[in-house]
């Protein structure tokens, strides 16, 4: 039996940079695993949609699909939107088994990708102790997602940064600009902002706007090698799950806040 198809599910955006970045990430993942069939679909704004890709896969004779959310925390999209669209597709496609893998975060690989972008922006590991870092995410109203971001900030602090504080572009405070000013007021010699987002768009632009008074602004994670490896890791974890899923059904693999990687 062939391996399940990997379906990367992205949020989508009206910003054309978003889809271009998602496709670049999948190209890197394909380069790491030649021969593995991988497809990309979007929840909104961009084509192809998740139902359209699943219909095409079923028509091609695929037996099983593992949908990997291109999301960094388990918030509304991972808990509601994606499971719903997969369930609806599963009901229409009785010969296709569909499973939802875990979201990308948290993971040490994700933190390594954040630091990679900081080094590319001009910092070096030797700058950690003199630099206050703002870990800026899109934001969420889901308390679980907020806790994950705060935990990731604490994990980064343990790698030697002067301090690391979370910030959010929407839904909840504090905002990026407020944390930048706070770190400056606390006497940090240098302030850097690291966007904890995969692709450009409206909220990443809001993060960049809030970083105007910072010394360093890193790029979005995009097709970082660590992110491509993490995508494959989530897929592999789902493949190893031994639960049986009947054709025409969709299931979400149990998530966890502490995923070794």
pLDDT, tens digit, for every residue of 122-173?
999 999 999 999 999 999 989 999 999 999 999 999 999 999 999 999 989 9
Quote the radius of gyration of the chain (alpha carbons, Å).
Answer: 19
Which of these ranges, 68-72, 140-144, 233-237, 248-252, has the smallest mean pLDDT?
248-252
* 257 found inside a domain: no
**pLDDT over 90 percentage in the chain:** 88
* 231 found inside a domain: yes
Instruction: Indicate if 134 and 211 belong to the same structural domain.
Output: yes
Q: What is the tens place of the pLDDT at every residue in 155-164? A: 999 999 999 9
Instruction: Indicate if 124 and 196 belong to the same structural domain.
Output: yes
Q: Average pLDDT of 15-42?
A: 98
| Domain that includes residue 83, residue range | 5-104+224-252
Instruction: Indicate if 119 and 197 belong to the same structural domain.
Output: yes
Instruction: Indicate if 135 and 198 belong to the same structural domain.
Output: yes
Q: Quote the number of domains for the chain.
A: 2
CA 203 → CA 16, 26, 139, distances in Å? 14, 22, 9
* 261 found inside a domain: no
Instruction: Indicate if 64 and 88 belong to the same structural domain.
Output: yes
What distance in Å separates the CA atoms of residue 128 and residue 161, rounded to the nearest whole number? Answer: 4
* 259 found inside a domain: no
What distance in Å separates the CA atoms of residue 191 and residue 207, rounded to the nearest whole number? Answer: 14
Position 76 scores a pLDDT of 80
Instruction: Indicate if 69 and 197 belong to the same structural domain.
Output: no
Position 243 scores a pLDDT of 56
What distance in Å separates the CA atoms of residue 104 and residue 95, rounded to the nearest whole number? Answer: 28
Instruction: Indicate if 130 and 213 belong to the same structural domain.
Output: yes
Q: What is the CATH number of the domain that holds 203?
A: 3.40.50.1400
């Amino acid at each position: 039996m062939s391996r399940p198809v990997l379906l990367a599910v992205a949020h989508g955006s009206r910003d054309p940079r978003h889809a271009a970045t998602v496709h670049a990430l999948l190209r890197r993942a394909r380069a790491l695993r030649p021969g593995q069939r991988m497809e990309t679909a979007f929840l909104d704004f961009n084509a192809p949609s998740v139902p359209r890709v699943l219909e095409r896969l079923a028509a091609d004779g695929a037996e099983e699909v593992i949908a990997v959310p291109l999301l960094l925390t388990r918030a509304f999209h991972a808990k509601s939107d994606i499971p719903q669209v997969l369930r609806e597709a599963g009901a229409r496609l009785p010969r296709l088994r569909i499973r939802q893998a875990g979201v990308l975060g948290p993971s040490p690989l994700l933190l390594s990708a954040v630091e990679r972008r900081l080094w590319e922006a001009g910092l070096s590991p030797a700058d950690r102790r003199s630099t206050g870092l703002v870990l800026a995410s899109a934001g969420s109203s889901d308390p679980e997602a907020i806790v994950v971001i705060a935990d990731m900030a604490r994990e980064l602090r343990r790698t030697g940064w002067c301090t690391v504080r979370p910030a959010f572009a929407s839904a909840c405070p504090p905002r990026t600009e407020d944390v930048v000013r706070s770190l400056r007021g606390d006497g940090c010699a240098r302030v850097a902002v690291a966007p904890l987002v995969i692709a450009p768009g409206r909220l990443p632009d809001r993060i960049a706007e809030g970083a105007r008074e910072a010394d360093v602004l890193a790029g979005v994670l995009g097709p970082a090698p660590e992110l491509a490896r993490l995508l494959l890791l989530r897929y592999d974890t789902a493949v190893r799950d031994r639960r049986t899923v009947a054709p025409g059904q969709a299931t979400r693999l149990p998530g966890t806040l502490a995923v070794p990687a």
